[in-house]
Amino acid sequence: MKYIVGNWKMNLSVRESVALVRGVLRSIQGCEQLPHIVLCPSATALSEAHKLLTRTHIALGAQNAGPDRAGAMTGEIGIAQLEDVGCKYAILGHSERRLKFAESDELVRERLSAVLASDLTPILCVGEPAEVRAAGKEEAYILKQLKLALAGQKIPKGKTLIVAYEPVWAIGSGSPAAPAQAMAMHHVIREYLKSEFKLSGERVAVLYGGSVDGKNAYQFLREPEIDGLLVGGASLKIEAFGQILDSACEVMQAQLSV
């Protein structure tokens, strides 16, 4: 099974979000093999998006999640509120949150802890900046992010942990990682989760993100080590996102026939 997660970031009005949801629903009509599709609109559009996605094959996700179910945290969205509006997934630790809003590894850990204790499935983002990659220290950097986020955590039985590897230097740059680079890091992440948390099979999924578009999606999705994609800018364009979904369906159909 593959995952395709669309992160719409701080884009689109409620009306535009509704139109895009409808476009995605149209694009998957007639597909025999569908990936897990998760759409993550802005918080203002979550409620309207949920109305359209109820009883469909597409799940609703949040772009972040408060470090508690509820409480005195101005500007945050609590776990209970996300569950109430129909969210099934939550993106945590995205590099934009870490860099632009100074979210520390400790805060990411708190957010992850709250999500693990809820009905939501976490999508934990990790990724190294360009200077770390240039120094050949990307593996150690990613493992440190994982260790700090997962310190003291217990992964409940039946809960899937999704990790999205998004190298900071690839996000929005138009220059994605080479599939071989992504696969190598995915292997590192998967082996760590297996050795430290006994997570394997359907209980863990490792996605790639960073300048994914309709033209390069297939070369990532065809690799067994890559469980899916976290898509940013291309998820805002129905033509590009439709191509990505088509690639996922094609890969899954080919794997089924092997």
Active site residues: 94, 166
Strand 161-165 and strand 204-209: the pairing is: parallel
Q: How far is CA 220 from CA 128, 195, 251, in A?
A: 19, 25, 10
13 within 8 A of 43, measured Cβ to Cβ: no
Run of H or E residues at 174: none
H and E: helices and strands count for the chain: 10, 8
- Integer Cα distance of 92 and 111 in angstroms: 7
> Which stretches within the chain are classed as H helix?
14-27, 46-53, 79-84, 95-100, 105-116, 130-134, 138-150, 179-197, 217-221, 238-256
